Amino acid sequence: MARFFQLKYQPAKVEMESALPQRPPNLCAGCPHRASYYAVNQALGDATAIYPTDIGCYTLGILPPLEAADFLLCMGSSVSSAGGFAKAQEEPVVAFIGDSTFFHSGITGLINAVHNEHNFILVILDNGTTAMTGQQPHPGIELTPEGRQPPKVDIESVVRGCGVDQVETVNPLHVDKTVAVLKQMLGDKQRPGVKVVISKSPCPLFERRVTGKKQKVVFQVTNECDMCRRCLDELGCPAFTYCEDEEECAFISIDEHLCSGCSVCKQICHAIKPKKKTA
Ligand code: SF4
Ligand code: SF4
């Protein structure tokens, strides 16, 4: 670019005192997608399912401990491939697509699935933005990064307009209710066809940046913890740290600077309690 615009360009020199620790990619602390995947895993219990997924932050649901992604081809393929998987085999099929990708290329697959009486659950992960690529607006948003409130196309109305009559909107941060809705849909063999769960809760990074939301309450692991590791092995929020003290006794703590206060961990463990953020 510098050559094209005939500008002088000096690459920046970056000096680091020590190497940064290596870490795998992960959904952010407090990401509602983690709560949605956790709820699907809980609703299925020991049963297995096929998870077609799509393109967005939520593709990271492929990683342990969530492991809720089996197939991804291109944008919109979660919905269209779910119909194929449901026709070809007996396992339940639970497909995932984000709000932005749904508007981009999920609607055509959904109409096709309704018309052809495909039998699967589609979870639309509605975090109110196009989070992965920079928080661009899409037709379903309530607020743009510049603070504009454009006319909003309601996802539930679009889904119903495509011919789906089994639709539920949930807040994935309300864990028990979300699990109950998913269990009911998975167990309802009397009414085949496409079922849609709209899992709606804002991206915490977008919320902080655009609405200026400040986190006052975070969560901590108290001494009631019995080291069952459920928080690590089933939820895996990156705000959790597994440590060992000088006597090599293991304990789990929450980094209050990473915790977004979503409260999902508190709903699954009696030993996790709220506390006021210190700084
Ligand atoms: S914080 Fe709770 S879930 Fe995590 S290890 Fe302790 S008791 Fe288990
Ligand atoms: S409340 Fe729990 S799950 Fe939510 S961000 Fe904080 S540590 Fe993670």
Alpha helices by DSSP H, listed for 116-192, are 155-161, 175-187
pLDDT band at 55 (very low <50, low <70, confident <90, very high): very high
Assign 156 to helix, strand or coil. Answer: helix
Token pair, residue 245, equals 């003290």
pLDDT of residue 23 exceeding 90, the answer is: no
Under 8 Å between Cβ of 149 and 139: no
CA–centroid distance, 179 to ligand 2, in Å, is 18
Cα 144 to Cα 58, 120, 214, distances in angstroms: 21, 32, 19
Least confident stretch, 46-60, 92-106, 140-154 = 140-154
**Which pLDDT score, from 0 to 100, does residue 21 have?**
78
Q: What is the pLDDT of residue 52?
A: 98
Q: Which of 11-20, 45-54, 132-141, 236-245 has the highest mean pLDDT?
A: 45-54
pLDDT at 67: 97
CATH level 3 topology of 32-210: Rossmann fold (3.40.50)
pLDDT over 70, % of the chain = 100
Q: What is the pLDDT of residue 245?
A: 79
136 CA to centre of ligand 2 in angstroms: 26
Number of helices (H), then strands (E), belonging to the chain: the values are: 9, 8
Q: Does residue 12 surpass a pLDDT of 90? A: no
Q: Reduced to 3 states, what is the DSSP secondary structure of residue 15? A: coil
Q: Residues with Cβ within 6 A of ligand 1?
A: 221, 225-231, 252, 269, 271-272
Global model pTM greater than 0.85 = yes
Which SS3 state, helix, strand or coil, does residue 259 take?
coil
Confidence of residue 247 (pLDDT cuts 50, 70, 90): confident
pLDDT at 13 over 90: no
pLDDT at 149: 93
Candidates 221, 194, 225, 235; CA nearest to 41 is 235
Q: Which atom in ligand 2 lies closest to the alpha carbon of residue 260?
A: 5
Ramachandran area for residue 139 (φ above 0: left; ψ -120 to 50: alpha; else beta): alpha
pLDDT in tens, 210-233: 888 888 899 999 999 999 999 999
Atom of ligand 1 nearest to the CA of 272: 1
d(CA 33, CA 266): 17
Residue 94: helix, strand or coil by DSSP?
Answer: strand
Distance from the alpha carbon of residue 265 to the mean position of ligand 1, in angstroms: 9
Say which range, 89-98, 131-140, 260-269, has the weakest mean pLDDT.
131-140
* pLDDT at 64 (0 to 100): 94
How far away, in angstroms, is 240 Cα from ligand 2 center? 8
d(CA 178, CA 174): 6
Tell me the pLDDT of the chain averaged across its residues: 94
More confident residue, 20 or 234: 234
40: confidence class by pLDDT, cuts 50, 70, 90? very high
Q: Give the start-to-end residue ranges of the domains of the chain.
A: 32-210, 214-276
| Ligand 2 binding residues, C-beta < 6 A | 29-30, 219, 237, 239, 254, 259-265
In this predicted structure, the answer to whether residue 19 has a pLDDT above a threshold of 90 is: no
Q: Yes or no: say if 103 and 159 are a contact pair by the CB < 8 Å rule.
A: no
Q: Is 68 helix (H, G, I), strand (E, B) or coil?
A: coil
Report, as an integer, the average pLDDT of 87-94: 96
Lowest pLDDT segment from 20-24, 64-68, 274-278: 20-24
- For residue 192, the Cα-to-chain-centroid distance in whole angstroms is 26
Residue pointed to by tokens 């006052």: 216
Q: Is the pLDDT of residue 279 over 80?
A: no
pLDDT(192) > 80: yes
> Could you tell me the pLDDT band of residue 24, with boundaries at 50, 70 and 90?
confident
pLDDT value of residue 278: 80
